[in-house]
Structures are given as C-alpha cells and as structure tokens.
Amino acid sequence: MKLIIINGPNLNLLGIREKEIYGNKSFESCFENLSFKFPDCKLEFFQSNIEGEIINKLHEVGFSYDGIILNAAAYTHTSLAIADAVKAISSPVIEVHISNIFSREKIRHTSLIAPYCKGSISGFGLKSYELAIKSFL
C-alpha cells in the first residue's frame, strides 16, 4: 500500500512551536516511528508552507497513490484551492489534525477540505497520523 503524508504550513516547526498544543516531538521522529511500525506500507512524507506546492503534490500523487493523509494546517480553514484539489483527485484523502480543532478558536471549527475527504481525525496528537494509516490498512 502506497501512502503519503502531506503536511501544511508551520508543521515543519513541530517540537518547537506551541509545545503545549502540538507536543515536543519533531515530525521527522514521528515519521521514523511510523515507518518502523508499518513496514509493509510504502510511506512517504511531504511538507510545504506554500499553498501551490501542496496543490501540486496533491495533483502529482492523487491519481496513483492508495491514500493521502493530509494535515493542511491553517489552510484547512481558508483554502478553497486545496479543497478543490482534494475534490479533483481520485486517491482517497484522510484529513488529520494534531489538536482537536473543535475545542479551539471558532475559526478552526470549519474545514473547507472535510467535505471531500474520506474522513477526518482530530485531537489525538501525533497519534492522529497513526490512526489515519490504520484506517487505510
């Protein structure tokens, strides 16, 4: 099974940024752990702070991969362009959030992407990514 995790803006700062919300682990160490836990899964990772790069990556992988795990970060709440890209591709997408977006500020309660995703996982810390992989398997 070929899966990719796509992380959006500021998620390159995991482990440094707002540790009380996002924890103290880097995504690189989380990814290493996931690759170890799911050896039968061909797992890739891409991060960008740039909306267009996320869209380009969705187009690149979105017709051939078995699944996409997307944490679009703040673009979740604002980007109609990323939502359109998710709608346009054929690979199933699971939306993931580290924090529980529904227990935070009102602006984070809305996801423009969610209607086009297979499902959404929010609030389980970095474990949210693991749950998304498990749901694909």
Q: Footprint of ligand DQA on this chain (CB under 6 A)?
A: 10, 71, 73-74, 76, 97-99, 101, 108
Q: Which is nearer to ligand DQA, 42 or 134 (CB)?
A: 134
Shortest CB 18 distance to ligand DQA, Å: 9
Is residue 22 flagged as an active site residue? yes
Q: Which is nearer to ligand DQA, 69 or 98 (CB)?
A: 98
Is residue 109 flagged as an active site residue? no
**Catalytic residue from among 22, 65, 75, 129:** 22
Query: Alpha-carbon Rg of the chain, whole angstroms?
Result: 14
**Catalytic residue from among 75, 97, 109, 116:** 97
- 7: which 2 tokens? 């992380």
Shortest CB 39 distance to ligand DQA, Å: 26
Q: Which is nearer to ligand DQA, 63 or 79 (CB)?
A: 79
Q: How far is CA 53 from CA 60, 93, 100, in A?
A: 10, 17, 25
Shortest CB 135 distance to ligand DQA, Å: 17
119: CB partners within 8 A, 6+ apart: 94, 95, 135
| Neighbour tally for 128: CB within 10 Å | 21
In whole angstroms, give the CA distance from residue 28 to residue 120: 22
135: left (phi over 0), alpha (psi -120 to 50) or beta: alpha
Please give the positions annotated as active site: 22, 97
